[in-house]
Amino acid sequence: MTSDISYKVIVGLEIHVQLCTQTKMFCGCALQFGAQPNSRVCPVCLGMPGVLPVMNKHAYEYSVLVGLALNCKVAGFTKWDRKSYYYPDLPKNYQISQYDLPLSENGFIEIPLESGETKRIRITRAHLEEDAGKNLHTAGNFSQVDLNRTGTPLLEIVTEPDMSSGAEVKALAVELQRMVRYLGVSEADMQKGHMRFEPNINLVITKGGKEHKTAIVEVKNLNSFRALERSVDYEVQRQLDEFIDSGKVMEMGNKSTRGWDDDKQMTVLQRVKEEAHDYRYFPDPDLLPVELDDAWLEQIKSQLCELPIKKQIRYVSEYKLSDYDAGVLTADRSTAEFFEEAVKAGGDPKRVCNLITQVGLKLANEAGCGIAELSLTAENMSELAKMIDDGQVSASAGNTILEQMTKTDKAAQVIAEELNLIQKSDAGELEGIVEKVLAENPKAVEDVKSGGKKSKKAQGFLLGQVIQKTKGQANPKVVSEILSKKLS
C-alpha cells in the first residue's frame, strides 16, 4: 500500500539569539546568567508606570552586524512595535519587537552539507526584540517568576522553509553559532538558552501521482543540537505515519505546536489557546525610530570578519587541508586566527594544522582555554613546524616540544636542545654509524641485496639499528638515503 508514496521534507526555522551586550536592551541592568533571582531588575524591567525605555546602541549595532553577515538588506529606517503578551515574565503585558519595518531582511546563509558542498538557505528577516523573563513551575499550585532575563536583547532570525532534513537543520544551527561567535555578538550556548531554535516542519507527500501536504508543526523546548536534529527526524516519521494511518492533511487541521521530550525522544502535542496568536502589533510611542546612514553602516561593516564557512572552504582550496581539518581549525575564531598567523610566519599549513589539531587543541582543552590563550606564539609555532619539516626534530619529538612550549616561554629550538631531541642529519657522521651497523649485521645485508620479500623488512631492521645506536637522534630520512646508497 505504501510503496507508491514518496515525500519531501520542508523545514523552516525561527531562531532567537541572545546578544552578549553588557546591559539589557532598554535599561542599564546587567546581563548576568546565574545571578540571584530578580536581582538584575529595575523599574523599566518591571514595566512600572512612567518609565521610559532607551535603546542600547550596542544591541542595535550587533544586530546590524549579524544582518550583514546573513547577507540581508539592512534597513535605513527601522522602528519598534508592541506585541501583546500575557504571561508574567514580561510584566508590562507587551513585548517590544519589530513588525513591519525590521532592521534587516531578505538574506541567506550558506551551510555545509555532508557531501562537502554548501547549500544556500534564505533568510526572511532578522529583527531585534526583548527577551522575556523566566516562569518556573513548582510542585505547588503556583509558578515562580524571575525577571533577570526580562529585556535581554534578542535577535529573532526567520528562515525560509529551505531545509529538507534534520541534518541540514543542525548544520544551519552549528553554522549560525560559529558565525555569531566569530562576530563576538553572542556566547551562543544552547544549554544556557543563548540560542533557541524552533523548527516548523511539514511534508509534501506524493501518493498515486497526487500531492498532499501535512499540517505544519512547530517544535519547542530544544536545548541541544542533537535534540534539534532528532526532533525534526522524529516529526518527519510521525507525520508520515499519521498520513498513512489516517490520511490527515493540512486542510484538515491548523498548524500545531509540539514540545520535545528529551527523555522519551519524542514530540508531544501542546495545548495552545486559539487566541494566543492575536498579537495586535502597534508602533511603540516610547521609542524613537532608528535611521542608519551610510557612514554608520560602513563603520559597522568594518567590524565584519571573514566568516567561518568562507574560511573553511579557503583552507581546503588554498592550504590543501582536508575539509575535516579545516572544520576543526575554523570551529572558533581564535584558533583559526592563530593558525593563520603561524602560517603567515612561514610554517607549512599542513604541519601547523597537525600540530594544532593533534596536540595544541588537546593541551588547550586540558588547560580549559583556547589555543591562543596558551603561552604559545604563532612565531614559535611556525618555527617548530619548520624544524620538523627540515628534519631537525622528528614529528613525535615535535609534539613533545609543543607540550613543553605551552609550559615555558622558551623557543622550540631551545627546548629541542635541552631535551636532546635534535636529530643527527650530518651525513658524514651518520655514514660511520651506518657502516658499523652493516658490518655487525651481515645476514640482514645479504637479505637486502638478495631482493624479494625479505629485502624491505631487512632494510627496515637496519634503519632501526642505526636509530637505536644514535639513541633515536638520527634523522630517519637521511639514514634511509645512506642505507640505500650503500646497499645498492
Partner 1 sequence: MSEKIDQAQVKKVAMLSRLDLTDSEVAEFTTQLSAILEYVEKMNTLDTENVQPLAHCLPITNCFRDDVVKESLGTEKVLANAPQRDEEFFKVPKILDDNSGA
Query: Which residues make up the interface to Zn ion (CB under 5 A)?
Result: 27, 29, 42, 44-45
Work out whether 49 is an interface residue with partner 1 (CB under 8 A): no
- If 0-12 CB within 10 Å is exposed, 13-18 middle and 19+ buried, where does residue 51 land? middle
Binding residues for partner 1, rule CB under 8 A, total 69
C-alpha to C-alpha distances, 91 to 29, 95, 277, nearest whole angstrom: 16, 9, 18
CA-closest candidate to residue 192, choices 156, 232, 148, 234: 148
Q: Quick one: 276 or 304, whose CB is closer to partner 1?
A: 276
Phi, psi dihedrals of residue 158, rounded to the nearest 5° = -115, 130
Tally of CA atoms within 13 A in the half-sphere of 271 that contains its CB: 0
Work out what residue 268 binds among partner 1, Zn ion, none; the CB cut-off runs from 5 to 8 Å by kind. none
Shortest spacing between CB 290 and partner 1, in angstroms: 6
Shortest spacing between CB 295 and partner 1, in angstroms: 13
Work out what residue 453 binds among partner 1, Zn ion, none; the CB cut-off runs from 5 to 8 Å by kind. none
Distance CA 474, CA 454 (A): 24
Distance CA 375, CA 411 (A): 11
Q: Quick one: 49 or 368, whose CB is closer to Zn ion?
A: 49
Shortest spacing between CB 354 and Zn ion, in angstroms: 50
Work out whether 264 is an interface residue with partner 1 (CB under 8 A): no
C-alpha cell of residue 192: 544556557
Work out what residue 39 binds among Zn ion, partner 1, none; the CB cut-off runs from 5 to 8 Å by kind. partner 1
Work out whether 276 is an interface residue with partner 1 (CB under 8 A): yes
- If 0-12 CB within 10 Å is exposed, 13-18 middle and 19+ buried, where does residue 247 land? exposed
- If 0-12 CB within 10 Å is exposed, 13-18 middle and 19+ buried, where does residue 420 land? exposed
Taking CB under 8 A as the criterion, the residue among 5, 7, 23, 306 binding partner 1 is 23
Residues in contact with partner 1, shown as a per-residue x/- string from 51 to 90 under the rule CB under 8 A: ---xxxxxxx----------------x-x----x-xxxx-
What does the DSSP assignment read for 259-328?
EEETTTTEEEE----GGGG----EE-TTS--EE--HHHHHHHHTT----HHHHHHHHHHHH---HHHHHH
Shortest spacing between CB 158 and partner 1, in angstroms: 13
Shortest spacing between CB 153 and partner 1, in angstroms: 10
Residues in contact with partner 1, shown as a per-residue x/- string from 339 to 358 under the rule CB under 8 A: --------------------
| Grid-cell match 582555554, residue found | 369
Distance CA 152, CA 144 (A): 19
The pairing of beta strand 217-220 with beta strand 195-207: antiparallel
Q: Quick one: 47 or 370, whose CB is closer to partner 1?
A: 47
How far is CA 450 from its chain centroid? 57
Work out what residue 44 binds among partner 1, Zn ion, none; the CB cut-off runs from 5 to 8 Å by kind. Zn ion
Distance CA 364, CA 153 (A): 31
Work out whether 187 is an interface residue with partner 1 (CB under 8 A): no
C-alpha cell of residue 320: 590543501
Work out whether 303 is an interface residue with partner 1 (CB under 8 A): no
Distance CA 349, CA 6 (A): 46
Shortest spacing between CB 35 and Zn ion, in angstroms: 12
Distance CA 330, CA 372 (A): 13
Shortest spacing between CB 356 and partner 1, in angstroms: 34
Residues in contact with partner 1, shown as a per-residue x/- string from 195 to 224 under the rule CB under 8 A: -x----------------------------
Contacts with partner 1 by CB under 8 A lie at 16, 21-23, 27-30, 36-43, 45-46, 54-60, 77, 79, 84, 86-89, 95, 101, 129-132, 135-138, 140-147, 154, 156, 196, 257, 270-273, 275-276, 278, 280, 283, 285, 287-291
